Amino acid sequence: RPLSLTRLVNQAVDEHRAAAEARHLSVVTELDRHLPVHGDPMRLRQVLDNLLSNAIKYTPDGGTVTVTAGCDGESTGNGACRKGDGRKGDGRKGDGRKGDGRKGTVVLTVADTGIGIPAEQYPRLFDRFFRASTAVDSGIKGTGLGLAITKSIVEAHGGGIVAAPREGGGTVFTVRLPVDPSAPH
Ligand code: ATP
Ligand code: MG
């Protein structure tokens, strides 16, 4: 049975709202209504919790955390993430996956206006125990395990995760997950 990523994101954001408010951070969501993914809801919640807790932790008071979730490629009228019909065999644009052009991709982003990560440190970000100098220099505590765990969960679900600098400062994490293959259009 497909899970709703939209529902998981809303639940996760609700649980982090108090922590964000305590830091005077705004949390903004832009979510498509129906994003069916496949997998373990507890593990996917862990992904969301890790990314949200990082965004809150590494963003100075008064900043903004923006969470988006949508469909890469075609969306149906009701916002669902559509599988192509597979008849054209044209490898629809934006699909980003080799081989099966019938499966769409759900894209989740968590962006913040926080302290950021030095450019040369991005390659090590998902390594166990790695902590960026911006975090260490800010005196913010952590063990450096959250992102390594997050990446392994995302990959176990057939997806991927990348980090990049946010335009205007801060960081954006992008998670891609395959659309549940059993989900109706
Ligand atoms: P924990 O294991 O408790 O989550 P942590 O937050 O230090 O500790 P990770 O979540 O794995 O560990 O993150 C690794 C490092 O990546 C952090 O120490 C920090 O330097 C950097 N980082 C992660 N998320 C962000 C972010 N949103 N903004 C800036 N730096 C970040
Ligand atoms: Mg963390």
Phi and psi at 87, nearest 5°, equal: -80, -35
For residue 139 and ligand 1, the question of a CB distance below 6 A is answered with no
- Kindly state the percentage of the chain with pLDDT values over 90: 77
- 9, 55 in Cβ contact below 8 A? no
Residue 86's pLDDT is: 39
Nearest to 29 by CA among 50, 44, 8: 8
For residue 114 and ligand 1, the question of a CB distance below 6 A is answered with yes
Parallel, antiparallel or unpaired: strands 64-72 and 26-31: parallel
Distance CA 3, CA 44 (A): 10
Distance CA 21, CA 29 (A): 15
For residue 20 and ligand 1, the question of a CB distance below 6 A is answered with no
What is the mean pLDDT of the segment spanning 16-43?
Answer: 96
For 140, the token pair is 């913010």
Mutate to test the pocket of ligand 1, among 147, 150, 153 (most ligand atoms within 8 A of CB): 147
Distance CA 129, CA 132 (A): 10
Each residue's pLDDT tens digit, 147-168 = 999 999 999 999 999 999 999 9
Please check the confidence at residue 17 and state whether its pLDDT lies above 60. Answer: yes
- Interface ipTM above 0.90: yes
Residue 100's pLDDT is: 46
Q: How far is the CA of 143 from the centre of ligand 2 (A)?
A: 7
How long is the chain? 185
Q: Which atom of ligand 1 is nearest to the CA of 131?
A: 18
Phi and psi at 151, nearest 5°, equal: -60, -40
End-to-end CA separation in angstroms for the chain: 14
Alpha carbon nearest to ligand 1 atom 27, residue: 55
Residue 92's pLDDT is: 43
Please check the confidence at residue 129 and state whether its pLDDT lies above 80. Answer: yes
